[in-house]
């Protein structure tokens, strides 16, 4: 078991038009339809339209963005590369 201290992480979304995400370790990729972030709690994928990564602060690990936000998906770091079928067969 790991004794790593996790960075606090919050997601605040207002009216699906603006969002503030704290605990951002890395901005992996972004365009007007997707923003991909790494956090201590897994990879966070934000999907929508006209997304703009506005203010990015490396000092307090915060990202502020605007646009039409459609979904948020976390991808776990565990079992990386294992297919759903392989997981079901366990």
Predicted confidence at residue 55, as pLDDT, reads 87
Q: What is the rounded distance in angstroms from the CA atom of residue 49 to the CA atom of residue 7?
A: 29
Predicted confidence at residue 56, as pLDDT, reads 87
Q: Are 19 and 35 in contact (CB under 8 A)?
A: no
Pairing of strands 18-22, 24-30: unpaired
Judged against a pLDDT cut of 70, whether residue 84 lies above it is answered with: no
Q: What value does the mean pLDDT take over residues 22-26?
A: 95
pTM for the full predicted model = 0.80
> Residue 1: which pLDDT band, with cuts at 50, 70 and 90?
low
Predicted confidence at residue 9, as pLDDT, reads 94
């Amino acid at each position: 078991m790991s004794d790593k201290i996790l960075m606090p992480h919050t997601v605040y979304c207002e009216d699906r038009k603006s969002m503030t995400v704290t605990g951002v370790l890395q901005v992996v990729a972004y365009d007007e339809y997707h923003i991909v972030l790494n956090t201590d709690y897994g990879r966070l994928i934000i999907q929508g339209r006209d997304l703009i990564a506005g203010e990015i602060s490396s000092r307090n690990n915060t990202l502020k963005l605007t646009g039409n936000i459609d979904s948020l998906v976390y991808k776990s770091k565990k079992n990386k590369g294992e297919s759903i079928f392989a997981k079901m067969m366990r």
